A and B are shown apart, each in its own frame.
Chain A
């Protein structure tokens, strides 16, 4: 038997099993309709869940992108300060983020795909459920319980197949979302723990930002010192020169001492 025949037989077997559960044909119709509405609600929740996951991934992409831009800025700052080692460190961290961002963007596309699939599944099921409701009312109004069985079976197997299909779509979307949520959770924890923040935070750790900050504050301190000293900066240089003169003058002093001694 070919593949597509086998799959359809398995679907039919499952749909028939659902049929066997109820004894009164009219109850079967109402019971099935209730299950259809439940499934519709389940697809709607599924769409919402996938959308939430997608938004979460989008937020992470934005956070990591901002982080990556910060590191780029730090690398540029470090190069200006002629600190290639710091620039290299910043760019290394940035490249780590870049691969994570690429990964998250792939997930984002996949989640968007699942969202679209589920939305379409919801529309298809919705159309069938509405058709079933109409058919159900017609069958109830037109046929006696005994006559209704065949019509009911027809309607039920048609909608049963759709329900199986939609149920499968929900299950797959949930599985995929669950996998991605586990990874998204890990990234959220990483962001929350500050492990990524460290790289660009201005007041933590002995890392790039800290060093850049230290360097720039050192420069600022020197400038401030110079300002405070005001005119004393040139004096300091003179003092140095004086020192030199003193050293040079020392033998002279000694000479003069000697000479003064001689004079004494």
Chain B
């Protein structure tokens, strides 16, 4: 699977690695729902580290779209909330 970390680029991850990281993704999401700012930053950092560790950078010249997209490392909770509603943050 191809996972993009916004502002960083794409990584190739095995399906198993992605399944393993799903728990961390859920943590980020519940922190967002709870409005738990420290929890959100901690969970997001853990998730991004997991992707970087388990993945290898995807070919820079490939024109493949990602299966999963993650917020940038310095994203704020409100920014990710906006991202999830699809307005404002993502240009296009």
Contact = CB atoms under 8 A, between A and B. Distances in A.
Nearest to A6: B84
Nearest to A169: B7
Contacts of A155: 63
A154 B63 contact: yes
B25 A10 contact: no
A132 B89 CA distance: 25
Contact-residue bracket for chain A: 35 or more
A10 B71 CA distance: 12
Interface in A100-151: 117, 121, 124, 127-128, 130-132, 135
Contacts of B68: 4-5, 7-8
A14 B64 contact: no
Is chain A's interface secondary structure helix, strand, loop, or mixed overall? helix
Nearest 6 Cβ contacts at the A-B interface: A158-B63, A14-B92, A167-B91, A4-B68, A8-B69, A131-B61
A11 B25 CA distance: 18
B34 interface: no
Contacts of B64: 154, 158
Contact-residue bracket for chain B: 20 to 34
B63 A165 contact: no
Contacts of A128: 60-61, 63
A130 B59 CA distance: 13
A101 B89 CA distance: 32
B89 A168 contact: yes
B61 A8 contact: no
A4 B70 contact: yes
5 contacts: A7-B83, A14-B92, A131-B61, A135-B63, A168-B6
A264 interface: no
Contacts of B69: 4, 7-8, 11, 161
A103 to B, nearest CB: 19
Contacts of B91: 14, 164, 167-168, 171
Contacts of A163: 92
A3 interface: yes
B2 to A, nearest CB: 10
